[in-house]
Amino acid sequence: MLADEMSSIGFEPNSVTRATIIKGLVRTGKTDLAVRLIGKWEKVSGRLDAFAYNTAIDGLCKQGRVIEAFNLFNKMVFQGIQPDIVTYNSLIHGLCCSIQWKEAVVLSYKMRDKGVQPNLLTYTSLLHGLCQLGRWREASTLLKQMVAEEIQPDVVTYNTLIRGRCNLGQ
């Protein structure tokens, strides 16, 4: 692997190179290797940046491997790296796709407690989770909360709601 070749000639990849390698591995479906590399690089250099962790966390969530994503999230926090909106949105989306809406809501509150405010993607993911469960009234309430917080729904948000209503036969 390129990272090993770089190390063998005395060139240790910097944070940008590491993040690029992680992103490439995740995009090509080699998320397990990306996670192993993160572990290796943690031992060598002590810590990575949020981008590398976020890329792997998002990849795990998109594969439905939410527990593993949370394990990596916990390692990230243990390393002293503050989760950002990208971290939380990946996890919230992963939870909602895994029909774990309550856990997603709890995480959205924890996110706020840490000073990270929800954005359009956060709300759209939560709405998607509610629509999957057929909980239209709660989705409607959440949409109103979103607008009250001056976050304007976009076409993806509305399509999520329309699909949710169609799935209910409405």
pLDDT in tens, 50-79: 998 999 999 999 999 999 999 999 999 998
The residue that leads in pLDDT, 15 or 124, is 124
pLDDT tens for residues 21-46?
998 998 998 999 999 998 888 887 76
Q: Are 92 and 170 contained in the same domain?
A: yes
Give the pLDDT band (50/70/90) at residue 118: very high
The residue that leads in pLDDT, 5 or 128, is 128
pLDDT reported for residue 152: 96
The tokens 């976050």 sit on which residue?
151
Q: Are 8 and 56 contained in the same domain?
A: yes
Q: Is the pLDDT of residue 169 over 90?
A: no
Structural domain count, the chain: 2
Of 56, 82, 108, the last residue of a domain is 82
Give the pLDDT band (50/70/90) at residue 168: low
Overall size of the chain counted in residues: 170
Q: Is the pLDDT of residue 6 over 90?
A: no
Average per-residue pLDDT in the chain? 89
| Sign of the CA dihedral running 142, 147, 151, 156 | positive
The torsion defined by the Cα of 77, 151, 158 and 128, in degrees rounded to 10, comes to 20
Q: Is the pLDDT of residue 5 over 80?
A: no
Q: Are 4 and 64 contained in the same domain?
A: yes
Range of the domain at 141: 84-170
Closest C-alpha to 42, from 5, 12, 8, 79 = 79
Exposed, middle or buried: residue 148 (CB in 10 Å: 0-12, 13-18, 19+)?
exposed
